[in-house]
Structure 1
């Protein structure tokens, strides 16, 4: 099944990524989460960096196993430089996420680096 059929709402701006992450995580949609990341992306985890689709899949499968609930935080202003964007979100319980997103040829955005707990 083509990705567009599975996930009809792509991230058309870097700011979309955080909102789509929360919705897909709350739905337990690991494949939907992976669609927000480049195949060679790096995700910071407590066990160390998860690099690439398979490692990120394993990290999200473990994270979502107990069906946690994610709440949207307060998005911080996005910094853009051409096809790159630095996004961040202040979390409700304290802490800050920081991500680097890249615009793809089709105009959609995906994360290439994700630090879900940059400060806490």
Structure 2
């Protein structure tokens, strides 16, 4: 897996996130997002754009988390937009909006990684 591997399906993004996060691959994590994407993490904060998202993930991987895949829900696709969601092993839910890129790959536009049911 390299940070250049692209998501050919919206739910590939979640799988790549787990792999790249566990590898400490900050560049690979940032590559999952459109340049002006919005990330709501840590809870209560918003990071907009690659530079801010990079700062969030630099701190995130510095803590060396061990990420486990939860239950990924089927993507809800409408044209070039997709709603992706996963229920984590902690019971928290992630919700993201992905957009199909001109080359057919998918990137996240909006990411809300922590919703407590």
Q: Do both proteins adopt the same fold according to a TM-score greater than 0.5, normalized to the shorter chain?
A: yes
Which blocks of at least 5 consecutive residues in structure 2 are unaligned?
A: none
Map of 1:34 onto structure 2: 30
Pairwise CA RMSD of aligned residues? 1.1
Closer, same or farther in 2 for the Cα pair 1:88/1:113, shift >3 Å? Answer: same
Measure, in 1, the Cα distance between the counterparts of 2:69 and 2:45.
24
Which blocks of at least 5 consecutive residues in structure 1 are unaligned?
A: 1-5
Instruction: Indicate conservation of the 8 Å contact 2:21/2:61, yes or no.
Output: yes
Measure, in 2, the Cα distance between the counterparts of 1:105 and 1:76.
25
Measure, in 1, the Cα distance between the counterparts of 2:79 and 2:112.
21
Map of 1:107 onto structure 2: 104
Q: TM-score, normalised by structure 1?
A: 0.91
Measure, in 2, the Cα distance between the counterparts of 1:47 and 1:80.
28
Measure, in 1, the Cα distance between the counterparts of 2:112 and 2:26.
18
Measure, in 2, the Cα distance between the counterparts of 1:19 and 1:111.
13
Q: Deviations over 1:11-50 (max 9, x none)?
A: 0010100000000000000000011000000000225110
Measure, in 1, the Cα distance between the counterparts of 2:37 and 2:95.
14
C-alpha displacement of 1:8: 4.2
Aligned runs of 1:67-106 on 2, under 5 Å?
67-106=64-103
Measure, in 1, the Cα distance between the counterparts of 2:51 and 2:30.
9
Q: TM-score, normalised by structure 2?
A: 0.94
